[in-house]
Amino acid sequence: MNFYSLNNKSARYTFREAVLGSIAPDGGLFFPEHIPSIQNISEKLHALSVEDLCCEFIQPFVGNEIPSEALRSIVDKTLSFPLPIKQVSDKKACLELFHGPTMAFKDIGARFLAECIGTFSGSANTTVLVATSGDTGGAVANGFLGVKGVRVVILYPKGMVSRLQEKQLTTLGDNIHAIAVDADFDTCQALVKQCFADVALKQELGLTSANSINVARWLPQMFYYIAAVKQLHPAPITFVVPSGNFGNVCAGIMAYAMGLPVQHFIAATNMNDTVPRFLKTGNYMPQPTHKTISNAMDISDPSNFIRIREIAAIKGFLLNGLMTPYSISDEETYQMLHTLYHDYHYEADPHTAVAFAAAEQHAKLYPTDTTYVVLGTAHPIKFEEALKPVYTPNLPDYIRPLLNKKMVNTLQLPADFGLLKKHLLSL
Interaction of residue 272 with ligand PLP, rule CB under 6 A: no
Query: Which residues are within 8 A (CB) of 403 and not within 5 positions of it... i.e. 6 or more apart?
Result: 163, 164, 167, 395
Q: CA-CA distances (angstroms) from residue 238 to 131, 217, 257, 358?
A: 35, 23, 15, 12
Stretch that binds ligand PLP, among 75-83, 230-238, 241-249, 339-347 (CB under 6 A): 241-249
Residue among 107, 135, 310, 360 that touches ligand PLP (CB under 6 A): 135
Interaction of residue 378 with ligand PLP, rule CB under 6 A: yes
Interface with ligand PLP (CB under 6 A), residue total: 15
Task: Give the helix/strand (H/E) hosting 176.
Answer: strand 176-181
Interaction of residue 293 with ligand PLP, rule CB under 6 A: no
Show contacts with ligand PLP in window 348-367 (CB under 6 A).
351
Measured from the CB atom, the residue of 201 and 387 that comes closer to ligand PLP is 387
Active site residues: 106
Q: How far is the CB of 261 from ligand PLP (least distance, A)?
A: 22
Measured from the CB atom, the residue of 126 and 304 that comes closer to ligand PLP is 304
Interaction of residue 270 with ligand PLP, rule CB under 6 A: no
Give me the helices (H) in 84-221, please.
Answer: 106-121, 135-144, 163-170, 185-197, 199-205, 215-218
Residues forming a β-bridge with 374: 94, 240
Interaction of residue 177 with ligand PLP, rule CB under 6 A: no
Q: How far is the CB of 221 from ligand PLP (least distance, A)?
A: 7
Which residue of this chain has its Cβ atom nearest to ligand PLP in the complex? Answer: 245
Interaction of residue 112 with ligand PLP, rule CB under 6 A: no
Measured from the CB atom, the residue of 111 and 351 that comes closer to ligand PLP is 351
Interaction of residue 129 with ligand PLP, rule CB under 6 A: no
106 close to 139: Cβ distance less than 8 angstroms: yes
Measured from the CB atom, the residue of 66 and 251 that comes closer to ligand PLP is 251
Cα of first residue to Cα of last residue in the chain, in angstroms, is 36
Q: How far is residue 278's CA from residue 285's CA, in Å, rounded to a whole number?
A: 7
Q: How many CB atoms lie within 10 A of CB 82?
A: 9
Question: Nearest-CA neighbor of 391 among 337, 344, 355?
Answer: 337
Q: How far is residue 268's CA from residue 242's CA, in Å, rounded to a whole number?
A: 5
Interaction of residue 245 with ligand PLP, rule CB under 6 A: yes
**Which residues of the chain form contacts with ligand PLP (CB under 6 A)?**
104, 106, 135, 242-248, 296-297, 351, 377-378
